[in-house]
Amino acid sequence: MRRGPSRRGTRTMRDPCRHAIAWAQLPWHPTSAPRPGSPLRRPPRRRPPLDRQAREGYNAVVRRQRVYAGPRGIEWTRLAAVALVTSCGARTSLAVYGVSADAEAPTNDGGASAPRDGAPTLPCREQPWVLFSLSAQPPPGQPLPASQVYARHPDGTGGHLLALPHPFVAYPSASPDGRFLLYTTLSSLYLYRFGATSDLLVTRMGAPGFASLSPDGTRVVFSDGDELWLTSAMGGEVPTVLVDGSGGPAGYPVFTADSQSVLFGSQATIQSIGVDGAELQTLLVDPNGNGFPTPALSPGYQSVATVVACAVDSTFTLRTYALKSFPTTCETGKIVTPVPQTVVAKGLAWGPTGILAYSDGEDVYVVSAEGGTPTKLTGDLTGGHDFATTPTWAPACTTL
């Protein structure tokens, strides 16, 4: 508490309350982070009245508002919030001061402006997004179709093309936290932060296909239609072969929750392998023999969805399995809905609200993972020479 200026100058009264300082840090992906050690804008020295110990703690928190490289050189943190606990006798109060790279000063908003990871946020009433490749058959002389990424809510609203740094891209794949998007061009794989104006070149080789970003944000695994390759999410690293394809083409890889294993589809099987190339294991076999099961992990990494027939000349079905049940037999999966064989190897994704999105090679459909009748999401966009494939999901309220 301060008195106004007087002839004797400004006097500061002793604060009778006790204070405690706490702060939180959140991950910051390298594609959006400043150079290591470059400071963020320090807020002005505006603070509530504090005793000496709390004031020193508060100043220490402000000084920590800098960016550091992590142990692998690719993990970044930033100060997210400062909490001030004030105790005056029997009364205790909590004030949360949100701090960000764009903030001129901490703002006491009771936590409403704190980031979504681990801190209170304002509720989002928007639906998640389904993203997919929208392609047109190539004109004579052009080897590949012209493809763009289209976004739409699962109820069919909000449809629009994404304004990406590259005009023609394919195989969109959102990161597990929904902040980034992997996609390919004719010969390159890029990592894009939603809402940004540029992307990061991950690798340039051959014709990369579907890719996945690990949950810890450090690695990318992708297929070239035959083999699986592993590389750094930072780019600048020569990819290494993870699966050589000698047992059949491998594709549609996805990381497990710990980022240490990869699930992928192969000829009539779902397999897994460690990121070190060890422990190759067959998790599921489709006796039909003609399919290419595409694994899709649930948001909580507890279940796997895929398309299998489970018998020769049998109808293909979309099924879900408990991840901990693998290895298991084909018939143990819970049937979600029958699907045509054309769904095989056209992309499958499990959304944050328990909805599955898949493509039959022409259109994208959505259906509850609990079962039900699929809904065609792209009927007004396809037909003739246009088709929609490889769906993926972005969380609600993502800036696209």
**What is the predicted pLDDT for the residue at 271?**
96
Residue 122 covered by a domain? no
Has this prediction a pTM greater than 0.95? no
Tell me if 199 sits within 8 A of 185, measured CB to CB. no
**What is the predicted pLDDT for the residue at 143?**
55
**What is the predicted pLDDT for the residue at 73?**
31
Residue 5 covered by a domain? no
Domain with 58, as residue range(s), is 18-108
**What is the predicted pLDDT for the residue at 245?**
83
**What is the predicted pLDDT for the residue at 305?**
97
Tell me if 306 sits within 8 A of 251, measured CB to CB. no
Residue 173 covered by a domain? yes
**What is the predicted pLDDT for the residue at 9?**
42
Residue 297 covered by a domain? yes
CA atoms within 13 A on the CB side of 72: 13
**What is the predicted pLDDT for the residue at 175?**
93
Residues 6+ apart with CB under 8 A from 122: 112
Q: Do 78 and 192 fall within a single domain?
A: no
Q: Do 92 and 232 fall within a single domain?
A: no
In terms of Cα–Cα distance, which of 315, 298, 299, 316 is closest to 307?
Answer: 316
Number of domains in the chain: 2
CB burial class (10 A; 0-12, 13-18, 19+) of residue 52? exposed
CB burial class (10 A; 0-12, 13-18, 19+) of residue 386? middle
**What is the predicted pLDDT for the residue at 89?**
56
What is the side-by-side order of every strand in the sheet holding 146-152?
Answer: 160-161, 146-152, 129-136, 386-394
Q: Do 233 and 102 fall within a single domain?
A: no
Residue 9 covered by a domain? no
Q: Do 47 and 159 fall within a single domain?
A: no
Residue 399 covered by a domain? no
CB burial class (10 A; 0-12, 13-18, 19+) of residue 3? exposed
Q: Do 241 and 315 fall within a single domain?
A: yes
Across-strand partners of 359?
Answer: 364
Residue 251 covered by a domain? yes
Q: Do 206 and 287 fall within a single domain?
A: yes
Mean pLDDT by 10 residues, the chain (400 residues): 44 48 42 42 42 49 37 34 52 46 31 35 74 79 72 94 89 92 93 90 89 95 93 93 89 96 94 95 89 90 95 91 96 96 89 95 96 95 87 90
Residue whose token pair is 């279940």: 303
